[in-house]
């Protein structure tokens, strides 16, 4: 079974020297999302102060398989609109 390495960056680089064995990429993706959520939950202030978190997952050859980024966004006015833009057809025609 393959070994996956979960390297974190949150104001500094923290390489994973040991890795974790999973049955495949899907299981590693689930674990990555869980780990990132744990990091956000454990240190919410650090997330805002350091400007985000990054989790890079590599294989045993050091190849990057995927990256998860959590980035804070603050609206310039301090107030973000609630409504999402509506997507209109490019030609102006509505649905049939």
**Which pLDDT score, from 0 to 100, does residue 87 have?**
56
> Is 57 among the domain residues?
yes
Mean pLDDT score of the chain: 85
Domain count, the chain: 1
Q: How far is CA 19 from the centre of its chain?
A: 18
The pLDDT-based confidence of 78 (bands split at 50, 70, 90) is: low
> Is 24 among the domain residues?
yes
> Is 49 among the domain residues?
yes
> Is 89 among the domain residues?
no
> Is 60 among the domain residues?
yes
> Is 26 among the domain residues?
yes
> Is 31 among the domain residues?
yes
Boundaries of domain holding 28: 3-70
The SS3 call for residue 68 is strand
CB 10 within 8 A of CB 50: yes
**Which pLDDT score, from 0 to 100, does residue 79 have?**
63
The pLDDT-based confidence of 47 (bands split at 50, 70, 90) is: confident
> Is 88 among the domain residues?
no
Judged against a pLDDT cut of 60, whether residue 37 lies above it is answered with yes
């Amino acid at each position: 079974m393959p070994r996956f390495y979960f390297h974190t960056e949150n104001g500094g680089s923290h390489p994973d020297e040991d890795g974790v064995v999973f049955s495949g990429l899907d299981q590693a993706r689930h674990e990555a999302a869980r780990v990132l959520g744990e990091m956000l939950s454990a240190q919410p202030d650090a997330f805002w102060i350091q400007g985000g978190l990054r989790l890079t997952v590599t294989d045993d050859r050091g190849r990057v398989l995927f990256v998860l980024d959590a980035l804070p966004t603050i609206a310039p006015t301090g107030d973000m609109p609630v409504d999402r833009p509506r997507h209109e057809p490019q030609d102006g025609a509505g649905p049939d």
